[in-house]
Chains A and B, each alone.
Chain A
Amino acid sequence: MVKIEAIVRPGVLEDIKDGLSKFGIHGLTVSQVMGCGLQKGRKEVYRGTEYSINLLPKVKIEIVLAAKDADGVIEVIIKAARTGEIGDGKIFITKIDNAVRIRTGEKGDAAL
């Protein structure tokens, strides 16, 4: 069992959701986050004073799934999120020990 965390541009969320849905993945958690990396910030101006903003808005998608599906899902995300420009984001994969479905008490892959 693995967790995929993808940090992507806010505009690509719908495409990723569509792609995952076609792939058969329906469970995911989405949060709005701020982050910085290689992408250059932008400036804001208030009454002639410039502020450089290097934290940019991103969307974080978390999916926990069976290890065998991981490569397929990563491909789906890359396909939807890649523009080729700096700022496309990153995907992190971690091992998950276990999962529990609260409603039934099922554990492991059955809980996903």
Chain B
Amino acid sequence: MKKRMGVIALLALMMIFILPMFAWAAEEGIDTGDTAWMLVSSAIVMLMVPGLALFYGGMVRQKNVLNTMMMSFICLGVITIQWMLWGYTLSFGSDIGKLIGGMDFFALNGVGLEPAGTIPHQLFMVFQMMFAILTPALITGAIVERMRFPAYLLFLVLWATLVYDPICHWVWGGGWLAELGALDFAGGTVVHISSGVSALVAALVLGRRRGYGTERMVPHNIPYVVIGAAILWFGWFGFNGGSALASDGLAASVFVNTQIAAGAAVMSWVIVEWLRHGKPTVLGAASGAIAGLVAITPACGFVTPMGSLAIGLVAGALCYFAVSYAKVKLGYDDSLDVFGIHGVGGMWGALATGLFSVEAGAEGLFYGNVAQVGIQAISVVATIALAAIATFVILKVVGAITKLRADDEAEVLGLDVNEHSEKAYSV
């Protein structure tokens, strides 16, 4: 028996040394370690979408939980097709005037297994696809409990095409913001500011929910919110860590920074809330985590652990005030605080990258380079401008084609029954 184990161990050892040699022979320029990490990253970023569905679903009232979850989940269908047909090529096709990608990768033509960096081109495409799916799903938190589903689907396709794809090209596809030297490691502008600002505009165009401000509108299932936040946090390691596009030291440092900022923001949100209201809330802890994760997203590849700690601590407190104070004062119904967390957290993160960056040649303000904050500010303003204007126009166009809002009766009865003929919980 012992002898057989020895033989097996020897065989296993031989495999370890021999197998990689075959792998090398198979694809020149492709790194198997990088490829493995990016495959895993892509899969765990996909999991963020149902994570978001839980995070948002728990925060709405019982009668709208299915509609809310569906608005996230359906992105896995709609945007997968949009991205493979024309979204990827608009974002990463050959550059046209630094503004948009060309049509050369239409329907994934020419997107094969050749190396893109050190991973297969198709893998890069699918990793980016997960970002494109998650980003519009983030917006839905602002429009839940009142938007008609057909109108939402139309909005979704147009927004992905006219807002996400161009901004993605500007920052990551070789567009003008990349050329300007704006730093956005994993999507502070592309993902969070774009979705956060669009969410605010959408909330304003749609108007408040019936009874907002007078009726009690509170989360129907906070355990869902906690599970959702946990899945999002887990997914963020793929989201940020995968943005290194390699299984290397940079990915490890990104992982560490991501964790530190999230933890710090949990603590600052909870402590500020505890001081103001007398109790530390679970919803606050979950919200703080997301605020920290949002804020570190653009910075995670460029800052130190201490920088991450500062970014996270500020993000938690800042986003808490954005949702509990600014929103109430201004009176808009950004139902699940997409602007307060993704918009405000994203802007803080993008600017903070210009403060704390230690990237050679693009150091932040605290390391003697004043210009970087200015560049970051330009990228923030440009993203806000395109997202706000385009979202407004898209909603007006969609509104001219089909009604945006569910009628009053549907809103009272709930969108689950009205839009989907289903109920989440049987009596």
Is the CB–CB distance between B323 and A51 below 8 Å? no
Q: Give chain A residues whose Cβ lies under 8 Å from the Cβ of B219.
A: 46
Is the CB–CB distance between A51 and B216 below 8 Å? yes
Cα-based distance from A48 to B325 in the complex (angstroms): 8
Q: Give chain B residues whose Cβ lies under 8 Å from the Cβ of A47.
A: 283-284, 287, 320, 323-324, 337
Within 8 A of A (CB), among B176-220: 216, 218-219
Total contacts A-B at CB 8 Å: 29
- A-B contact sample (18 more), CB < 8 A, given A47-B284, A47-B287, A48-B323: A44-B218, A45-B273, A45-B281, A46-B218, A46-B219, A46-B281, A47-B323, A47-B324, A47-B337, A48-B276, A48-B277, A48-B284, A48-B320, A48-B324, A49-B324, A49-B328, A51-B216, A51-B218
- Interface size, A (range): under 10
Question: B residues bordering A, Cβ < 8 Å?
Answer: 216, 218-219, 273, 276-277, 279, 281, 283-284, 287, 320, 323-325, 328, 337
**Is A50 engaged at the interface, CB distance under 8 Å to the other chain?**
yes
Name 26 interchain pairs, CB-CB below 8 A, sorted by A: A44-B218, A45-B273, A45-B277, A45-B279, A45-B281, A46-B218, A46-B219, A46-B281, A46-B283, A47-B283, A47-B284, A47-B320, A47-B323, A47-B324, A47-B337, A48-B273, A48-B276, A48-B277, A48-B284, A48-B323, A48-B324, A48-B325, A49-B324, A49-B328, A50-B277, A51-B218
Residue of A nearest to B216 (CB): A51
Q: Smallest CB–CB gap between B324 and chain A, Å?
A: 2
Question: A residues bordering B, Cβ < 8 Å?
Answer: 44-51
Residue of B nearest to A46 (CB): B218
Chain B facing A: main interface SS: helix
The 9 closest A-B pairs by CB, nearest first: A48-B324, A45-B277, A47-B323, A46-B218, A45-B281, A51-B216, A46-B283, A47-B324, A47-B287
Q: Smallest CB–CB gap between B187 and chain A, Å?
A: 24
Residue of B nearest to A47 (CB): B323
Q: Smallest CB–CB gap between B390 and chain A, Å?
A: 28
Q: Give chain B residues whose Cβ lies under 8 Å from the Cβ of A48.
A: 273, 276-277, 284, 320, 323-325
